[in-house]
Amino acid sequence: MGKKFVIAIDGPAGSGKSTVAKLIAERLGFLYVDTGAMYRALTLKAINEKIPFSDAEGLTAMARAAKIELSGKFSKYTIFLDGKNVSDAVRAEEVSKGTQFVASILPIREILWKMQRDFRDNHDIVMEGRDIGSKVFPDAQLKVFLDATAKERAKRRYLQLREMGIDGNIEDIERDILQRDEKDRQRSISPLVKLSDAVYIDTTGLTIPQVVEKILSLYSDRSR
């Protein structure tokens, strides 16, 4: 039997990766893996254990000892850190801001790359992140790069916050998004890149079902 099928979905924050990746995984019965949540979990652990973001060695030792588990399907996805459900805690603003430091330490990325690659031993997967097609699975059978204008991504985030009862300022949100993009694209280790063998989809002006159908049709072409 050949290798398990991997759909790698990369793209900037707010491009719709998570929503789309989950729906595709559900439609195909694949395992969904949110790699951003893994970087977030280690950042949360660093904050809890008061390890400074400048202490690369301390953070690496911490990452080696960490137990990260992902579980769930049909919109109920859960991430456990050292046996505790941290699905909500990893979304805190402090974690979102700190993750860039943890994610730029190479030995930490290597620990997570290994965990991410191991999922393929037993499962067909839909994996989303920034470096899935470039680093984790350069041999993925289908690579997708999801994008949208910063304005559109800011609007989505604004609406999402409003749904949670939080009033945001759309200009501030857009500025934050542009700053995060810059960091993701400029960092020396595993920057966010558009690969020549990835299918580029600009989701600005597309609905979620339209994006999902597009990727499912690419999948059916490739899996023949």
174 binds ligand DC (CB under 6 A): no
24 binds ligand DC (CB under 6 A): no
Is residue 224 helix, strand or coil? coil
Is the separation of the CB atoms in 29 and 193 below 8 Å?
A: no
Q: Which is nearer to ligand DC, 22 or 130 (CB)?
A: 130
> Which residues lie below 8 Å from residue 203, measured CB to CB, with a gap of 6+?
15, 16, 20, 146, 147, 148, 152, 211
Q: Which is nearer to ligand DC, 28 or 104 (CB)?
A: 104
Q: What is the closest distance, in whole angstroms, from the C-beta atom of residue 1 to ligand DC in the complex?
A: 27
Q: By CB under 6 A, how many residues form the interface with ligand DC? A: 12
Q: What is the closest distance, in whole angstroms, from the C-beta atom of residue 2 to ligand DC in the complex?
A: 25
Helices (H), the chain: 17-28, 35-48, 56-65, 93-102, 106-118, 150-163, 170-186, 208-222
Q: Which is nearer to ligand DC, 99 or 124 (CB)?
A: 99
Is the separation of the CB atoms in 98 and 183 below 8 Å?
A: no
147 binds ligand DC (CB under 6 A): no
3: which DSSP letter?
P
99 binds ligand DC (CB under 6 A): yes
Interface residue list for ligand DC (CB under 6 A):
13, 35-36, 39-40, 99-100, 103, 129-131, 184
